[in-house]
Amino acid sequence: MCLNFLGMGKFLGQTAKLMIGVPDYDNYVAHMKRVHPDEQPMSYNEFFRERQEARYGGKGGFKCC
């Protein structure tokens, strides 16, 4: 029961972060290890910066939708 509760808490936390636009670094690292084991994952700062640029337009100025 406790393990299930902890798993549900992590899932709800991930969902809340995605709803407000905060990417999930842990899922990214797990994906990289599973799908691209020969590649080095980005650091947290690199990952966060890349996700922010993808969402808000990054270096090219303001980008809407």
| 45, containing H or E segment | helix 44-56
**Total-model pTM:** 0.59
How does the average pLDDT of the chain come out, rounded? 78
Q: CA-to-CA distance for 63 and 65, rounded, in angstroms?
A: 7
* pLDDT tens digits, 24-48: 888 889 999 999 999 999 999 999 8
